[in-house]
Structure 1
Amino acid sequence: MRTAVALFAATALLTAGATAASAAQFVGLGDSYAAGPLIPNQSLNPLGCLRSDKNYAHLSAAQLGKSLSDVSCSGATTEDMAASQNVTPGPANPPQLNALSVSTQTVTLSIGGNDIGFTSIIENCASPTPFGKPCQDKYNSGGVDQLAARINATAPKVAAVIQGIHTRAPSARVLVIAYEPILPETGSGCWPQVPLAWADVPYLRATQKRLNTMLANVAAANGARYVDTYTASIGHDSCKSSSVRWVEPLIPGNTAAPFHPNARGMAGITPTVVAAAS
């Protein structure tokens, strides 16, 4: 068994050395907030990842003059960084960390939202009326904030991903990207454009901020740099008009997925990413 492990390790090192010279300088990792679902033009490799050639990794790498390998994939969790991710249509997206090498100089990472159940939270918190607090009734009753607990449980997983990046790309600057604000910085939202009950909006706004705070703390503790694209995006949330917002509401007015960044949002946060990478 030890001989087999040693042989595997040696083979991996040789493979890494052989491919390093041709490896990309900039590697984009992460979930749909990195990939840019439905933003034209969409990659066919694989189509199921819903990856745009106008996402912030593409735009940032171009501005920095660096070669890019963007392997981000909608629906990705921390587990999909080191394991293949099944997508529809396929084929599967390979482990995202495979894109890294000793030649990698810059890595961007958007991850954690799917670990806490982003899609199911949106679905469960959507309300047919602006009254009541159905989201808090589901996730924050009995004195236990389930979403806060999920965020806490995700922290060591994000830390492991960052450490995995350092192992494979020891010279790279690792940038952990914040999630852009879905909701306005103040107030009770914009039901029905974003169909969340008025009383639930502050809770969900605080939850997204808690997620970003966790990412900032984990980045700082693991030799990475947190990129505060949340602050850079304030005033461009999904309650704004279609010509102003960077994140789309339930019914998009721009070509992008609901509750995800649009092309304007990707372009809008790119200067913040480029500054952090420089």
Structure 2
Amino acid sequence: MKVWARGRTSGLLALLLLVVVLVGLSVPLVSERVRCRTFGVGCDRPSGTPVAPAAALPGRLPLTPLEVASQGAYVALGDSFSSGEGAYALPDDLSPENRCHRTSRSYVHAVSRTFEFAGGTRFFACSGARTEHFFESKAGEPPQVEHVDAGTSLITLSIGGNDLGFTKVLAGCILTFPWSGGCRDQEAALEARKPALRQALAGIVRKLQERAPRARIIVLGYPRLFGEREGEALDNLGVDDQRWLNAEGRELNDLIHEVVRAADQELVRLGAPGSVEFIDVHSAFTGHEVGTGAPYVNGLDVDLKAFKAEFHSYHPNAAGYTALAELVTRQVQAGPGRQLNQWR
């Protein structure tokens, strides 16, 4: 009887050891539900199911917004309002080889100087870029998303104005007879382009999150260009035209903000790391619009020989980019106004 008891005990121990080994190897000896309930493994959640933030684990402290942003590389993407178009200080700023017109006055440099990024800074914003150039080559350069990887901790960008064709809209306003109403005749065409822009912006954010899931993504809007002073026409633009252009700029900013807010709310719902943040710069140039005594933005400058506007027309000057830099650096420090799910 003792021999039998020892044999039974040894057998039970061996069986228990086998079960533990198989569970550790995720061999489905028992159902997933039983394994989850009994051993705490095999509890996979369906895709998109919210997860509890890791804050509950003892001894873990949240990273500050700045720590999250600076733990890897800073990558600056987008269009001319991020490349620095309109403000030139060095010969390279206007070099023919600088086909993206990345200048020494862009707000990107101020951000890079203000904070120490463990992975350095990469500057790839390109004048004239549209949403498609995040996925396609422009000016002989790779698609912008390819500059982002898992080591990226901060991304800044501005995009959308070229998709709506604001340069052409401005030209259409300026080249009409004064107060003809031809400027606002373009409204239907602008509205028709907005759904595609909304979808493209959402696609860009998703791709950036996929390539850099722990990064803070900061998207800038666009500044108001005109002060709407009563009775003051500028560059063949009546006050009504200036107000209409400002209102269209506000609507573009609202569209961008809605896309950004939805993406960040999804991160919150999932308890995921990273963030998607919006900087509303619509009023950043208040008191310094086109035509003021100390403008932050260039007015119209026409190349009479080619009969075309110079690139710097209606783009920020050095003071304008300084104002944008202050808003960006403030946002990097402040964060999205919620807990970021990254921990020490």
Q: 2:78 pairs with 30, 36, 46, which one?
A: 30
Q: Contact between 1:80 and 1:96, CA under 8 Å: does it hold in 2?
A: yes
Shift, 1:105, TM fit: 1.1
Shift, 1:251, TM fit: 2.9
1:134-162 per-residue CA deviation (whole Å, 9 max, x = no partner) reads: 1113x13xxxx321332233111111111
Q: 1:237 pairs with 283, 286, 289, which one?
A: 289
Amino acid at match of 2:261: A
Amino acid at match of 2:116: G
Correspondence for 1:178: 221
Correspondence for 1:60: 111
Shift, 1:43, TM fit: 7.7
Shift, 1:131, TM fit: 2.3
Alignment partners' CA distance in 2, 1:43 and 1:26: 24
**What RMSD over aligned residues (CA atoms) do the two structures have, in Å?**
2.3
Shift, 1:250, TM fit: 0.2
Alignment partners' CA distance in 2, 1:81 and 1:183: 30
Q: Answer yes or no: is 1:270 the counterpart of 2:312.
A: no
Shift, 1:99, TM fit: 1.2
Q: Contact between 1:188 and 1:202, CA under 8 Å: does it hold in 2?
A: no
Q: Contact between 1:81 and 1:95, CA under 8 Å: does it hold in 2?
A: yes
Q: 3-state DSSP class of the match of 2:282?
A: helix
Structure 2 unaligned runs (5+)? 1-70, 265-275, 303-309, 334-344
Distance change (3 Å), C-alpha of 1:239 and 1:95: same
Alignment partners' CA distance in 1, 2:96 and 2:258: 33
Structure 1 unaligned runs (5+)? 1-22
Give 1 or 2 for the bigger CA radius of gyration.
Answer: 2
Correspondence for 1:82: 135
After superposition, residues 188-267 of structure 1 pair within 5 angstroms as 190-192=232-234, 194-223=235-264, 224-241=276-293, 244-251=294-301, 257-267=312-322
Q: 3-state DSSP class of the match of 1:83?
A: coil
Alignment partners' CA distance in 1, 2:97 and 2:213: 28
1:172-209 per-residue CA deviation (whole Å, 9 max, x = no partner) reads: 1100101111111x4457433x3323332221111000
Distance change (3 Å), C-alpha of 1:257 and 1:102: same
Deviates more, 1:65-74 or 1:255-264: 255-264
The alignment covers a number of residue pairs equal to 240
Alignment partners' CA distance in 1, 2:136 and 2:175: 36
Identity among equivalent positions (%) equals 29
